[in-house]
Chains A and B, each alone.
Chain A
Amino acid sequence: MRLFSTILLIICLANTSFSQQFFRIKADFSIKQKKANGESTLIMGKVYYDKNAQKIIYINTFPKKETDVLIDTVLYSIIDNKIISKNSTFFTYKYSIFHLALIGNLSTFGLDGSVYKLVKTEKEKDLVITTWQADGKAKEKLGKIILSTKNKKLYGVVVFDNKNKIVMKQFFKNFVNVNGMDFPSEITQISYNASGKESYGITTYKNIVVDDIKDDNIYNFALPK
């Protein structure tokens, strides 16, 4: 009986460790962008995300002290506890790097279970390359996406438009393991405008904390009325 209990306990513990669910992440971030027209951007601050609250909170310290909160596809900008603007974006928390990393879907860039279907897998050198094509009606509007993984971690993403022209490339580098969760500490982005000119972007994350139990009021940020 004792042996049976011990085995049962070991199985339960093993199961718990394999099905570990992450729910929160915070980090210091910096976003650097150099656009094709010469415009430069530097944004620095702290970012908070709780997958249950479904809000991404950016507390920016540079270029100015401002809090940006992304809820669904709406970005609220707040200064001195007042909403100063509310803009729709193409972006949503579901496809944010934070959400994908927490739910363990970063290696497929969240494409698994989306409108995209896997159409090709190939292996070359140390890269596993997968090609994803939009399905159904979305196929007319969306181009293919090619992903590559290195050591089972997402390495690169190449996004095409519906005319098979590259619009963006992203490279995920310097993965760090925090409490068992892998997260890239640097993302390089190259985007191409209509005339093919390149814009560059580097996003870095430092002091990454996973499943932080402090700062509840920030993770569940309440918009000022």
Chain B
Amino acid sequence: MKKILYLFSFCALVFIGKANASTASLFELNESEVQLEMTDLNNLESYVELHQGITLSDLMQNVNLVQQFSLKSMPSRPFSPMFSFDDMEWFGFLWGFCCFPVGFIIYFVGDKEEEYLISVIIGFVLAVIIGGPSYYHYRGI
């Protein structure tokens, strides 16, 4: 009986320990991993600080610098717009374009994200814009 009680206490302690660790462990940050990811950008930042007033288009004119910092075009604003091309859910867009009621049903039944709904609406609006004049042209109106 004693052994069972010890075993039970041990399991309870392990469980409590794990439960406590789980909340604090959310705030563990692997600094070296983040810094490793940022190496190129840190180097670019130091270069820009040294050459005050230099812009990306100035840097792009120098092939060596383009290679050194692996330069590509980059966004210039601190916030993203609410919905961008990258957020488009193409499956939703196609449903919106071809048969929007099905797209809406999938949104409500399938517990989809808002990006899906926006994509369905964009697809639907595009279908109306393209389809409307074609319909009237076809009917000879």
Contact = CB atoms under 8 A, between A and B. Distances in A.
A35 to B, nearest CB: 9
Interface residues of B, number: 35
Given A87-B81, A156-B27, A34 B76 contact: no
A32 B34 contact: no
A90 to B, nearest CB: 6
A51 B54 CA distance: 31
Nearest to B60: A63
A190 B78 contact: no
A30 B27 contact: no
Contacts of A58: 78
A62 B78 CA distance: 11
A122 interface: yes
A63 B79 contact: no
Contacts of A158: 26-27
A137 interface: no
Interface stretch (B2-10, B37-45, B98-106): B37-45
A77 B75 CA distance: 12
B55 interface: yes
Given A32-B42, A63-B55, A200-B37, A75 B29 contact: no
Contacts of A91: 79
Interface in A170-215: 171, 188, 190, 194, 200, 202
B24 interface: yes
B24 A124 contact: yes
